[in-house]
A and B are shown apart, each in its own frame.
Chain A
Amino acid sequence: MKLKLFIKELFGGIGKTVFFMIMTLLSTFLICVLLTFTSEKSYTKLAPNVTFSGQVSRSFSRMYENISDSFASNLKSKLSKDAKVYQFTVRYSLSITRPGQLVGDEYMRYACEHDFLEEVIKEFIYEGRVPEKGKKEIILGGYLANIAGIKVGDTVYSIDLGNEVTGGKMFFDVTGELTEIPYTVVGILNSTGARFDYSVLFEAETQENVAPNVVWIYLPTKESEESYREITSDINLADYDVVGCSESIGMSGAKGLKNLIPLFVSVFAVVVEGLLLAYAMKGISRKLGILKAMGIRDSYIFKCYLGGITLIQFISSIVSIITTKVICDVLNSGYSEEIGFPITVFHVSIRVVLFMLIIVAVVLTSIAGLLKIRIYSVSPKKAMIS
């Protein structure tokens, strides 16, 4: 009876109730889409079989290529303590070999300090672990692992340049016989390590003796980023024979905006719901007055409204989440078809679902306050006035 009373009368009739439901559904859907597509999409595009949930790390890095030996140590001395400076050897290869088969794809091979693997790469590992020190183990970028069909535990063969390497920092003169050395794949990276999507990461100790040619500066905090910017002007790259500087995951500045999104959508939801409710309750005073005159308490009327609105809110939220998931699936399917393997670019995470629930709670709490004011302010005398 409560629900009938709510739908047919207190909410201004079936027409207004349906309108309210549709508008609530649309606003909830908009919120769900906004939450899903602003917090989940980054850096998942090229990562195969990887589902990335949560926000992308705000830390970012600089990579200086073709460096001289003293460059890394000079940077280390100038940067703040939380900034991390690593050096490693990078070279391009044209193919990756797997047992009995040559797969013709370009990839990058990084011979890294073990600290770099532990301190930076570890957080990007989707499956597996960091190579153990001194062991012939490697980590693969997600994209490379997927196109080559390599899994954790597989053995791959790396062509070693040997110790007789001379020449510049990017092009080498190699003498002597090339050998294939087996490595065990112990980890595959997720999409957040997008720079390494096409990469193989070795521990430097297990590799040929080629001088480091790249310095990686990892700036995990805002302070370290500021410290880096402060000293940038002091560094004359020409002094160090540096030929390239590139920036990777640069998300600084987006943090504040992203944090505002939940607040924005909450306010949006409360405003929309409040306006809809005001519209639905327009001209309802006499009906409230009649109910009160009949001896029906304010709390009963309040429960009628709140129960009805709660039902609409929850149905809208569930439908929105399901619809968003369907949209995500369709988009993912499109991307997968385009790339040639199944990937998850967008998905409705638990975080989004939880946030939707929080928004529903915020909306209902706010609406409950407005409802109470509205219901309790109507005098039963309204029943006497037609």
Chain B
Amino acid sequence: MIIQALDLGKVYQKGKNSIEVIKEFNHVFESGKMYLLKGASGKGKTTLLSILGLLDKPTSGKLLLNGKEIDFTKPGVLCDIRKAEYSFVFQDYALFENLSVYENLRLVYEDTDEKLDEKRIDDLLQKMNLSHRKYHRTAELSGGEKQRVAFARALLKDAEVFIFDEPISNVDEGNAQIIFDIMKVLKTTRMVMVTCHTSVFDNICDEIVCL
């Protein structure tokens, strides 16, 4: 998988004022690498990640996926690409708090032809040390456990691109290590994009993209 950003720009309109968050951004992202998006607060890390993750559309420029230009005017097509190629871990875990850990993972199989793989779910839960929490509501979990559920949900999908937005902002050292280990394995075959306001990923990423 190759993602090419060509002169990407994003301008937010707030009343009469225009705020240019991203200006003529150019970069090539490839599978088998981990990219760390760095920059001071307000520099557009999350916005860029949104555009690269097809969650938001740029106001200028192009985004090419394996050489093919993405048409941001077709939400249905974007949704299908996200479903097939992308996996996300969002800030604050973005879990459904009233559903159980298992139900949160099952959501990955919703609205898809893919057959529910119970064994894969169990294996991932075991790997994440969450087997004993399988049927607990995620609202009852600790911050570290929630983070691991969010990772389990992302890893359940056989995606090409993994996007992590501030993935260790709320986890302790032990859990952070689990996440590092996962990322190290992931980046060997997949494309991994991470935003982080600290330097904890500096040593394991392949490329730092400064904004």
Contacts and interface: CB of A to CB of B under 8 A. Distances in A.
Q: How large is the interface on A (under 10, 10 to 19, 20 to 34, 35 or more residues)?
A: 20 to 34
B107 A293 contact: no
A283 to B, nearest CB: 13
Given A295-B79, A384-B49, A300 B55 contact: no
A294 B50 contact: no
B6 interface: no
Contacts of B165: 384
B107 A386 contact: no
Contact of A300 (B54, B86, B96, B110): B110
Nearest to B107: A294
Nearest to A376: B75
Interface of A (DSSP majority class):
helix
Contact of B82 (A13, A294, A384): A294
B161 to A, nearest CB: 12
Given A5-B107, A384-B50, A384-B165, A379 B84 contact: no
Interface in B90-148: 90-92, 94, 96, 98-99, 103, 106-108, 110-112
Interface in A1-28: 1-2, 4-5, 8-9, 13-14
Given A295-B82, A295-B86, A384-B49, A8 B76 contact: no
B80 interface: yes
Nearest to B99: A8
A293 B56 contact: no
Given A5-B99, A287-B96, A386-B92, A293 B55 contact: yes
A123 interface: no
Contacts of B83: 294-296
A244 B107 CA distance: 80
A384 B55 contact: yes
A282 interface: no
Nearest to B94: A290
Nearest to A14: B98
B91 A294 contact: no
Nearest to B88: A293
Contacts of A292: 79
Contact of A386 (B49, B78, B90): B90
Contacts of B98: 8-9, 13-14
Contacts of B55: 289, 293, 379-381, 383-384
B22 to A, nearest CB: 14
A298 interface: yes
Interface of B: 46, 49-50, 53-56, 75-76, 78-80, 82-84, 86, 88, 90-92, 94, 96, 98-99, 103, 106-108, 110-112, 165
Interface of A: 1-2, 4-5, 8-9, 13-14, 286-287, 289-298, 300, 379-381, 383-386
4 A-B pairs closest in CB distance: A295-B83, A386-B92, A8-B98, A300-B111
Given A384-B91, A385-B46, A386-B94, 20 more contacts: A1-B103, A4-B99, A5-B107, A8-B98, A9-B96, A287-B96, A290-B96, A291-B107, A293-B82, A294-B88, A295-B82, A295-B111, A297-B79, A300-B111, A380-B78, A380-B79, A380-B82, A381-B55, A384-B49, A384-B90
